[in-house]
Structures are given as C-alpha cells and as structure tokens.
Amino acid sequence: MTKTVLSFLRLSLVAAMLVAGPGLAWAQLSLPDTEFLEDVKNGRRDNVYKSLVRGQSANTSNGIGQTAVMFAAMGNHVDIIDLLLQNKGNVRLKDREGRTPLFWASAAGHSEAVEALLKAGAPPNDIDRQGTSALMIASRRGFDEVVRLLIGAKADVNLTDHTGRTALMWSAESRNAQVPAMLKKAGAR
C-alpha cells in the first residue's frame, strides 16, 4: 500500500474514533486488520496470503461482526474463501444481524461462493435476526442457481421468517418464474 493510502487510513481511523467515542468497536480495529479486510474485499489474494502467513486471523471481523470469510463471499472471491478456510476461517460465524457468509453469498447471487461454503459445511438453514434464511433472500432476488444449490443442500423450503413468510412467498417479489417452480417442486407450500 502506498504511504498516501496508509496515511488516509490512519486519519480515517482517528477521525472515526473521535466522532464515535470509545464505545464503537469498528473504530478500534487496528490498521493491519483494516488493510486485511480491504485486501479480502478487493480480491487481493497475494496480500491476504501474506497477512495470514504473518499471523493475521482468518476470522478477523469489523465492528459489526462481518468477517473476512463474509467479505470474500460477498465479492465471490472463491480462491480467497478457500485460502481463509485452509487457515481456520469459520463459515458458521454470524455478524451482528445474525447473517453468515452463506447468507451474504446468497444475497449477492454468487453461486460459486455458495457452493464453496456449502462444501465447507455452512449450515443452509441458519437465519438472521429477522428470521430470514439464505434461501429466502436468494428466492426474493430471483437467483435460481443459488436456490438450486441451497435446495440441494437440504435448505428448508417451508421455513418461515418472523413475519410468517416462506421462501415461496418471498419469491413472488422476484421476476424469475423458475424460482417459485423450483421451490414448489421441492415441496414448498
């Protein structure tokens, strides 16, 4: 990283701490943690690898609990997901909203990341604080390949969120007619 970028990051952290006060957890991230998460987000595998070799935790998180594995899933950086998992990255950790890496990959429609996370043991039926599952968010957004993978991993097609809605109900917001058909074929009511 250039000295200008490092200076900017340091100033940003100081400004955030001054504005937020001592209670805000993300302002307490160290510069190496911030750089590491930025490298993960931006798909810079070589930098991520070097950080892990230097002892950076594969489960580093920001102040709202979003982990490196989550950021890799959001960006569909499957090579980085694999690297993090080889270094004790945890696919079961949840952020403050109760969302897992699988949720974030599903929400973004990243079928490759979803497949990698499922193979690594990510539970397909975890729900967030609103009761929303990965299948529900993928159904709502019309990501048929992600829905297919989640159904194949035994995601519960009749799970309800806190408002009583199922993935089939959420799929009505999607413009992809394949999704409700797939859900019905899998036994959704």
Threshold 0.75, pTM exceeds = yes
| Interval 135-173: pLDDT, tens | 999 999 999 999 999 999 999 999 999 999 999 999 999
Torsion, Cα of 130, 136, 141, 147 (10° steps):
150
Indicate the pLDDT class of residue 97, thresholds 50, 70 and 90. very high
Domain 29-121: CATH superfamily, name plus number: Ankyrin repeat-containing domain (1.25.40.20)
d(CA 80, CA 141): 25
Q: Which residues pair with 67 in a beta bridge?
A: 61
Closest to 101 measured CA to CA, from 86, 121, 129: 121
For the chain, helix (H) and strand (E) counts, in that order, are 11, 0
pLDDT on residue 181: 97
d(CA 103, CA 144): 15
Closest to 124 measured CA to CA, from 180, 186, 45, 32: 186
124-189: same fold as 29-121?
yes
pLDDT on residue 154: 98
How distant, in Å, are the alpha carbons of 61, 70, 153 from that of 66? 5, 6, 24
How distant, in Å, are the alpha carbons of 13, 17, 98, 107, 166 from that of 103? 28, 30, 9, 6, 16
3-class secondary-structure state, position 46: helix
- Architecture field, domain 124-189: Alpha Horseshoe (1.25)
d(CA 83, CA 4): 29
| Interval 58-83: pLDDT, tens | 999 999 999 999 999 999 999 999 99
d(CA 47, CA 125): 33
Closest to 125 measured CA to CA, from 101, 83, 157: 157
CA angle at residue 127 from 48 to 101, to 5 degrees?
Answer: 10
**Average pLDDT taken over every residue of the chain:** 89
pLDDT on residue 63: 92
**Where do the domains of the chain lie?**
29-121, 124-189
Phi, psi of 133 (to 5 degrees): -100, 170
**Integer-rounded Cα radius of gyration of the chain:** 18
